[in-house]
Amino acid sequence: MLKAGRILCGSGMAAGLSGLLIIGPITALGQTTVIEDFEGFTVSVVLDPTTVGGSGWTRGGADPSDWDVICCNGDMWSLDRTFDGSPQFLALRRSNANPPSFSDENTDFSIPTIVQGSVSLEVNPASPGGAGFRMSLHDSGSGINAMEIVHTESGWPVINSGDFRVHSETGAVLAEGTTPNDPNGENAINRWFRILVTLHGNGTYDVHVFDIGPAKNKLGATLPLGDPARGLVLTLTGANLPVPSVDTFRLTTGSTNGGGQQPTLIDNIIARDFFGTVDVDDIKTGAEISFPTLAGGVYHPQFSDDGSTWSDLGALVLGEGTTQSVVASTTGAPANRTYRVLEF
């Protein structure tokens, strides 16, 4: 069920440091967060959320619904559980047992009109071929889908792995991210992902997809031998937003069958028409190590507390032919800590 939190009063924290400014939590009038975790629905078996007044959900057709709220974890259509352990979620009803075996209508969820803000959700995509998950952010004023985010296991570039792809409003491919199956056949589709779409307010948007971990079956056990969270699997930054704003989270048509007992699952949709910031706990000075680079060179910053034993400082850096820098924490570091950068 739709939950709207409207922030009526603001607070702010700012700290200046010789021409530098740290911005802490700032809220303002009119900022809205909508959270849809599906826990507010009363579900005996399955429930079409578009039939619930005030839910924010609507759909384009009159046939049986494509997407249902299901309760409880793994006891109904799905063998899989939510990622956060909450009992209810949205599942793609269209399955091998429920013709047509693909979604045939748009299913929409109203969100605040977002010029600058974000939409995120968790998804466990279905396993069959085709595209087990299709979503977009939609502008109802112009009738345009700002982009489409798809998950499939049937192509791009590895058949039978799990691949995310972002399409522009015209269908052009903007980004791909592959979540490989393990080589012993553990499927990428038996995993949960968190999708984040960020609208910057300047006509651009980003998409990030995180692999947050393996699915759990109805008994609560992690499916056999799935890797732990793999982190970022798709990054798209600075894409051109073809609409001035979006106001609809849309599950678009064409999601292929729900995968029988393991359909596509969606949970914890969060939409904000602002950027929330967090407290920075205790600002400290660090060490900024700057070094000249050659384009294509590989560089590795290191530190030493005794001048002889060197430890790695973060990840390898690919040279761009400019002076590049990395910043290191100095918390707990002795005063005589020294730094160097190796070039390979």
Partner 1 sequence: MKEFTIKNQKSKIKNLLVFSMLCFFGITIASGQSYVVEDFESYTVRGQTWLDPTTVPDSGWTRSGVGDADWEVRCCSGSLIYTPGSSKEDDAFDTNSVKFLVLRRSNANVPARSDEDTEFTFPVLVEGTLRFQLNPAGTSADPFKLALRDSGSGKNVMQMVYTEDRWPMVNSGDFRVQDSVGNLLISDVQLDGRPDSYDRWYDIIFTMHKGGVFDLEIIDIGFTSPTAISSNDVARGTLASVVNIPAGALGIDTFRLEPGTGGGGGEQPTMIDNLTITRIEGSTVAGTQTGTGLEMPYTTVSRSIYQPQVTEDLTTGIWTAQGPPVLGDGATKSALVPTSGADFRAYRVVVF
Pick one of 9, 44, 170, 284: the residue that binds partner 1 (CB under 8 A).
284
Interacting residues of 340 by C-beta distance below 8 A, sequence separation 6+: 301, 302, 303, 304, 310
**CB of residue 62 to partner 1, shortest distance in Å:** 36
Residues 113, 105, 55, CA angle at the centre, nearest 5°? Answer: 45
Pick one of 143, 171, 281, 332: the residue that binds partner 1 (CB under 8 A).
281
Interacting residues of 130 by C-beta distance below 8 A, sequence separation 6+: 102, 152, 154, 256, 257
Distance, in Å, from the CA atom of 61 to the CA atom of 5, rounded to the nearest integer, reads 30
Pick one of 88, 103, 106, 118: the residue that binds partner 1 (CB under 8 A).
118
Pick one of 63, 182, 306, 320: the residue that binds partner 1 (CB under 8 A).
182
Of 8 and 280, nearer to partner 1 (C-beta) is: 280
Q: Which stretch binds partner 1 (CB under 8 A): 46-54, 72-80, 86-94, 266-274?
A: 266-274
**CB of residue 180 to partner 1, shortest distance in Å:** 3
Indicate whether 24 belongs to the interface with partner 1 (CB under 8 A).
yes
Pick one of 41, 83, 193, 249: the residue that binds partner 1 (CB under 8 A).
83
Pick one of 28, 202, 254, 320: the residue that binds partner 1 (CB under 8 A).
202
Distances (CA, A) of 302 to 61, 297, 319: 60, 16, 16
Q: Is the dihedral of CA 151, 152, 156, 160 positive or negative?
A: positive
Interacting residues of 105 by C-beta distance below 8 A, sequence separation 6+: 59, 60, 61, 63, 66, 253
Distances (CA, A) of 63 to 36, 46, 100, 230, 296: 24, 15, 10, 39, 57
Pick one of 87, 201, 242, 260: the residue that binds partner 1 (CB under 8 A).
201
Q: Do 197 and 120 touch, CB atoms closer than 8 A?
A: yes
* HEC per residue, 173-236: EEEEEEECCCCCCCCCCCEEEEEEEEEECCCEEEEEEEEEEECEECCCCECCCCCCCCEEEEEE
Of 104 and 206, nearer to partner 1 (C-beta) is: 206
Indicate whether 212 belongs to the interface with partner 1 (CB under 8 A).
yes
Of 97 and 283, nearer to partner 1 (C-beta) is: 283
Residues 24, 26, 31, CA angle at the centre, nearest 5°? Answer: 150
From 49, 88, 126, select the one nearest 267 (Cα to Cα): 88
AA identity, residue 173: V
Indicate whether 173 belongs to the interface with partner 1 (CB under 8 A).
no
Pick one of 65, 73, 198, 248: the residue that binds partner 1 (CB under 8 A).
198
Pick one of 231, 307, 332, 334: the residue that binds partner 1 (CB under 8 A).
231
Of 23 and 45, nearer to partner 1 (C-beta) is: 23
Pick one of 53, 85, 185, 307: the residue that binds partner 1 (CB under 8 A).
185
Pick one of 53, 62, 282, 332: the residue that binds partner 1 (CB under 8 A).
282
Q: Which stretch binds partner 1 (CB under 8 A): 48-56, 65-73, 88-96, 208-216?
A: 208-216
244 upstream amide cis, omega within 30 of 0: no
Site map (CB under 8 A) of partner 1, residues 121-150, x = contact: -x----------------------------
Q: Which stretch binds partner 1 (CB under 8 A): 2-10, 59-67, 205-213, 255-263?
A: 205-213
From 332, 317, 81, 104, select the one nearest 214 (Cα to Cα): 81
**CB of residue 216 to partner 1, shortest distance in Å:** 15
Indicate whether 339 belongs to the interface with partner 1 (CB under 8 A).
yes
